[in-house]
A and B are shown apart, each in its own frame.
Chain A
């Protein structure tokens, strides 16, 4: 029994166990132990990421005379690590008080645990795909498991979940088309055989593949213009499920793109498909889609006043950095894109856990109804702070390293406009995450939140541990860069030369150990200057404040929160035109009209006659 067999087995067991004990008091803890077991097996398989052999699973069957089986290489391992890690933290978070409250509120905890484990299992299966058929099977499993988890909470979660299903089906059609094209062209289902044939693909074929797989997998990633479904669907999911979705699920789309477009077709091959005269290649198309995916969702996030939606919109936008880095295709750029998958997952995980901690205590995610919680929930504040620094991509957190690599690669590649697009996204992120932390934790504490306490240890320990990962993989990015380099080698990209501290380049590199150390040194000096010199400071009450001659009382709302950046929005108002929402609504109307037509036909006096007539005419046309 190989390690991969063990992983699949334990993941399957994890999905079955909660059907029995999911509703019990210790159910959540058992689940967490099972995820820890999965993590242990993934750790046992680590050799695959340090030059070891690919690990195969035993189950297999034969279709069209070709063997279908599953195996893990460095790429699968990297994604599996992130997936199982996210699930472990999310499940731990759900184990104690959160799960108890969820059950008391009348939700089905058994369904939640089962759905979550089904997601992990299906994703692990997808990651082991070795041929076109298992890619499609894994893909559909992931899609339906996602729907199950989204809809598990019922109520407001149902509509966005159904919207997701429509998008996912559209994506699956495009994916099916791409897979069919590949099979017809090469006569093989095996990825290895297709890869061998790929250098002979014509330009037209590469364009066709880039389009069909770009749409198929792009829907899951929320690439523009398929970005509308993701944020509401993920935000309405039950808290730990939402954390898990936000961290990793959407990246399955990126996994698909890496597997098919990067590994099989190759970035260099896509870059050679320039249309004559304009020199615009399939790679350029995907890079620009990625750039738009950075900008549009980020500036949509800036307008949100629900903390969950704000973060989820950023999640869509951050996917753009990953794809953009990969499409640069150089060792530095693709390493930045890949590293950002891991870094972003850790960031988003702690951000969402902190936000859901606030919701757990206050019952609201409305950024206009919170404020000043820092003094009541200091641990959640620190975790959120680490998360926003990481998400905004500032030193010393890990998000900075991956974004720096993408920026640096875009400069070296000579793509100033894509570089600027990435920068514009980052600036928007900084504005937006400051609003997030300000409106929740800073400013005035509301009278109704005076008695609030920090969340219990069952929730705050996983938050703090994950935040520590964000810091340490920023301090020592070489740990994760080892895995990334192995992924690059396994998918045929140039491999990044790196050290424990970062990327040494002759013309401007990065050593995070030095940068973070000097930052800590600066903080230490600053602390000495501030705390040891000068008089002692006196702590005052929040209402002991300048108010232009008025007295402040607890009844005075003294918090600035609504429309946080009015000047910017006055300037940008003409740009926000809801074009994509309008397009989606238009599409829905067209489908509605068609269905009305079909209904009208069925209600006519002789529906059978018309259907028969249509059938005969079609048959005549086909035969002719």
Chain B
């Protein structure tokens, strides 16, 4: 691979992810506002929020690991974005497959967990305990989806999965050839985002926003940036596996925003599950649907 192309990809892919992610955060807040009959924030509000948080005068640190946590959060997502192909840019997607991507996405989670741990606030630790338990809820159906998709396409390489779908056209898209797995996929991706009804680990009224209890200023700003990456990754991952990826930037953006609209629309009208209810739900519905879909793919 030409190193100049690679260098451009390494810089551009995370930047694009961040920019698109900002708009996705805006969409989340706009949809929420409209359902509550408010106007919602202006276009650049997410960016203003980040600038404000980074510009705050008081920045409270609870120790080295608290600082490093934010570095791990940002770094893990920046690295992950280079494994996620977008139209015209494959980045490092040929050097690490779908499984690598999924495990690389756990690095920011681990960083967050470590940083919150160092804050020495039990509300934060309870939040992490709940977040990791929730991970057990959504990762099992997600892995059912992964093994089904990988078997169906005969590959775990993301550029190849995209190419195979685009060659076959809409009838070859994952969503038409494996509809049950697509359902399980969108549900587990929704759970992965940690939005209602699966946001028991932030639960503001109960554990004082959980992991975020001791996080403010640019630490919270780092978390905000992470949220942009997270929404973007969720949309692109589903689009890559089930909607044939992006033929060009226009269709790509339409697809990822459409995908993200599903969890957002559900989120804004739901209360929250208790943690064990969330796990039970995750193992019951998306896992069952996924396993049926898996059986259809294999036989």
Contact = CB atoms under 8 A, between A and B. Distances in A.
- Do A and B bind? yes
Contacts of A526: 70-75, 78
Interface string B25-47: 00000000000000000000000
Contact of B70 (A444, A510, A530, A558): A530
B143 A420 contact: yes
A568 B136 contact: yes
Q: Is the interface of B mostly helix, strand, loop or mixed?
A: helix
B235 interface: no
A394 B67 contact: no
B135 to A, nearest CB: 7
Contact of B79 (A372, A400, A427, A518): A518
Contacts of B120: 372, 442-445, 542, 545, 558-559
Given A375-B63, A443-B120, A567-B274, A525 B99 contact: no
Interface in A269-298: none
Interface residues of B, number: 87
A523 interface: yes
B117 interface: yes
A413 to B, nearest CB: 10
B214 A546 contact: yes
Interface string B49-72: 000011111111111010100111
Contacts of B98: 508
A607 to B, nearest CB: 60
Contacts of A419: 143, 147
A528 B120 CA distance: 26
Interface residues of A, number: 74
Interface in B179-197: none
Given A444-B120, A534-B54, A567-B274, A508 B160 contact: yes
Interface in A528-563: 529-531, 533-540, 542, 545-548, 558-560
A431 B279 CA distance: 14
A518 B122 CA distance: 34
A477 B230 CA distance: 30
B240 interface: no
Contacts of B107: 394-395, 519
Given A508-B98, A510-B100, A434 B156 contact: no
B175 interface: no
B54 A533 contact: yes
Interface stretch (A29-37, A144-152, A404-412): A404-412
Interface in B94-128: 95-100, 103-104, 106-107, 110, 113-114, 117-123, 125-126, 128
B157 to A, nearest CB: 4
A521 to B, nearest CB: 7
Looking at A394, A522, A539, which has the most chain B CB atoms within 10 Å of its CB? A522
B121 A404 contact: no
Nearest to A524: B75
Contact of A434 (B80, B110, B147, B298): B110
Contact of A560 (B10, B61, B67, B126): B126
B104 A395 contact: yes
Interface string A362-375: 00000000001011
A577 interface: no
A565 B133 contact: yes
B147 A507 contact: no
Rank and list the top 4 A-B pairs by shortest CB-CB distance, nearest first.
A442-B117, A526-B74, A508-B156, A567-B275
A416 interface: yes
21 contacts: A374-B63, A393-B103, A404-B100, A414-B298, A420-B144, A423-B140, A430-B110, A434-B110, A508-B97, A515-B79, A519-B104, A521-B10, A521-B78, A523-B71, A524-B75, A527-B75, A529-B74, A533-B54, A536-B59, A537-B61, A537-B217
Contacts of A192: none
Interface string A431-450: 10010011001111100000
A267 to B, nearest CB: 21
Interface string B142-178: 0110011011001111001000000000000000000
A508 B155 contact: yes
B151 to A, nearest CB: 6
A170 interface: no
A511 interface: yes
A481 interface: no
B10 A530 contact: no
Contacts of A416: 144, 147-148, 151, 294, 298
A301 interface: no
Contacts of B140: 420, 423-424, 427
Looking at A514, A518, A521, which has the most chain B CB atoms within 10 Å of its CB? A518
A389 interface: yes
B298 A525 contact: no
A523 B151 CA distance: 33
Given A394-B106, A408-B99, A444-B120, A431 B133 contact: yes
A624 interface: no
Interface in B229-287: 274-276, 279-280
A619 interface: no
Given A404-B103, A411-B150, A511-B96, A438 B70 contact: no
B114 A507 contact: no
Looking at A443, A445, A501, which has the most chain B CB atoms within 10 Å of its CB? A443
A509 interface: yes
B70 A565 contact: no
Given A389-B110, A522-B74, A530-B218, A540 B279 contact: no
Contact of A538 (B59, B70, B72): B59
Contact of A571 (B59, B104, B276): B276
A282 B132 CA distance: 37
Contact of A374 (B60, B65, B82, B113): B65
